[in-house]
A = this chain, B = another copy of it.
Amino acid sequence: MRRLIVALLLVIPFGPAWAGPVTSFTLDNGMEVVVIEDHRAPAVTQMVWYRAGSADEPPGMSGVAHFLEHLLFKGTETLEPGEFSATVARHGGTDNAFTSYDYTAYFQRIAADRLGLVMEMEADRMANLRLSENDIATERDVILEERNQRVENSPAALFRERMGAVQYLNHPYGAPIIGWRHEMEALDRAAAVDFYSTYYAPNNAILIVAGDADPEEVRALAEKHYGPIPANPDLPERIRPQEPPQLAERRLSLRDPRVSQPYVARSYLAPERDSGAQREAAALTLLAALMGNGQTSVLNEALQFEQSIAVQVGAWYSGMSLDDASLDFVVVPAPGVTLDEAEAALGEVLTGFLETGPDPEHLERIKSQLRAQEIYERDDVTALAQRYGRALTQGLTVADVQAWPDILQEITDEEIMDAARNVLDRERSVTGYLMAPEVTQ
């Protein structure tokens, strides 16, 4: 592995020829366009990202953003339900969509000379969606079944939902992206159409074209297909309810008979990446990697190898959110170790880290891994397109995205320690136990 990283590092000086140039511009109707060139294969990825996700839903209508994502595959004035994806497939392409807290995105991967075709269809469903009551009823069953499979059938998913709901006291990130089941059941045509007409407009969308495309050709095609769609003059400001000061440490226990492997999770409210101010988020990214990434992570070394307390550990931070993010830890205890013991051991490792700070060699290794990851991702235009789309829907700019890899490399151990001291505050934390019910006689 080490050898591979070195090899990749050696490649860098020869230039990131495959990654691009990245060109961006804005249409007259406010639609942002980002073109990521990659001419190695005659294929292109189109993504349209809307600055509208589950955290933008009206109260009581959780799930409507994701519901609408499903409904976009129904018909328009000129396309029959299902015809969009069938057309893409007939031309040898693939398409899909996804929804998160801050965005909903649609994409197709197709032969480069079919870009106009997918733009025409994507522009069509941005403006001309037609939803019958039958579409609504059918697709509501689909999303409810999706929730069954992904959430109700998974104690871990139910647990994550409740962790989120207790982490966020006021912010809509406390509700699941897929929606609370009882609210999903009540989603109707009016709810979907309201969300659509509020948020699906060119001045709330970002078009990303990645692959074998020329920026000027993309501009001409975008002007032709998206240009005629008028901006929504009533697009609401994107202001969500924010958290009050988090003053009280929280805990929760979810007991479910289906749990065979209990574990403890700890989540700390953490700042997100902000445009022009990404250093703390970069420090937290490194902190999470130091703590939980790979065999030599701090948690792994202490809890798995030295003490045999855990069979698995993890640490995550993603500052890719418009509002407050979280820094998360998980410890899956070894057989015979209680959740209390696992939690205490996690606490000791965190306390110890706050005293000693990162090992310089370890930090250097993490930075090398991030450089390598960066290089891998440059090879994948769809991953690059996702990176820009996610960033631009959370208030970052193309320049922020491009600065990020260097910022990660610049972060000092002092900055990591400052970020850790700031974020590892129990008052802003939730500790959760997922476990089987106690056996009672």
- Residue tally, chain A, CB below 8 Å to B: 36
Q: Is the CB of A242 within 8 A of B59?
A: no
A186 vs chain B, min Cβ distance (A): 9
Q: Is the CB of B170 within 8 A of A175?
A: yes
Q: How far is it, in angstroms, between the C-alpha of A180 and the C-alpha of B240 when the chains are bound? A: 14
A12 vs chain B, min Cβ distance (A): 45
Which parts of A311-340 form the interface with B (CB within 8 Å)? none
Say yes or no: is A30 at the interface (Cβ < 8 Å to chain B).
no
Q: Among B182, B240, B254, B256, point to the contact of A60 (Cβ < 8 A).
A: B240
A65 vs chain B, min Cβ distance (A): 15
Say yes or no: is A183 at the interface (Cβ < 8 Å to chain B).
yes
Q: Is the CB of A170 within 8 A of B162?
A: no
Q: Is the CB of B244 within 8 A of A432?
A: no
Say yes or no: is A303 at the interface (Cβ < 8 Å to chain B).
no
Q: Is the CB of B250 within 8 A of A252?
A: yes
What sequence of 0s and 1s flags, for each residue 353-374 of chain A, a beta carbon within 8 Å of any chain B beta carbon? 0000000000000000000000
- Which residues of the other chain, B, contact A166 by a CB distance below 8 angstroms? 166, 169, 248, 250
Which B-chain residue is minimally distant from A242 (CB atoms)? B182
Q: Is the CB of A181 within 8 A of B59?
A: no
Say yes or no: is A251 at the interface (Cβ < 8 Å to chain B).
yes
What sequence of 0s and 1s flags, for each residue 168-200 of chain A, a beta carbon within 8 Å of any chain B beta carbon? 011010110000111100000000000000000
Tell me how many chains of this kind the complex includes: 2
Which parts of A387-441 form the interface with B (CB within 8 Å)? 427, 432
Q: Is the CB of B169 within 8 A of A165?
A: yes
Given known pairs A169-B174, A180-B170, the reply for A162 and B240 (CB within 8 Å) is no
Q: How far is it, in angstroms, between the C-alpha of A242 and the C-alpha of B182 when the chains are bound? A: 8
Q: Is the CB of A252 within 8 A of B241?
A: no
Q: How far is it, in angstroms, between the C-alpha of A240 and the C-alpha of B241 when the chains are bound? A: 16
- Which residues of the other chain, B, contact A60 by a CB distance below 8 angstroms? 239-242
Say yes or no: is A84 at the interface (Cβ < 8 Å to chain B).
no
Given known pairs A59-B172, A239-B60, A244-B182, the reply for A252 and B253 (CB within 8 Å) is no
- Which residues of the other chain, B, contact A145 by a CB distance below 8 angstroms? none
With A60-B241, A62-B170, A166-B250 known, 9 other A-B pairs at CB within 8 A are A60-B239, A60-B242, A158-B247, A162-B248, A166-B166, A248-B432, A249-B254, A250-B250, A250-B251
- CB<8 Å pairs between A and B, sample of 22: A59-B59, A60-B239, A60-B241, A60-B242, A62-B241, A159-B248, A161-B244, A162-B169, A162-B247, A162-B248, A165-B170, A166-B248, A166-B250, A170-B174, A180-B244, A181-B244, A182-B242, A183-B242, A248-B253, A249-B255, A250-B250, A250-B251
Closest 7 CB pairs of A and B: A60-B241, A248-B254, A165-B169, A251-B251, A162-B248, A180-B244, A248-B252
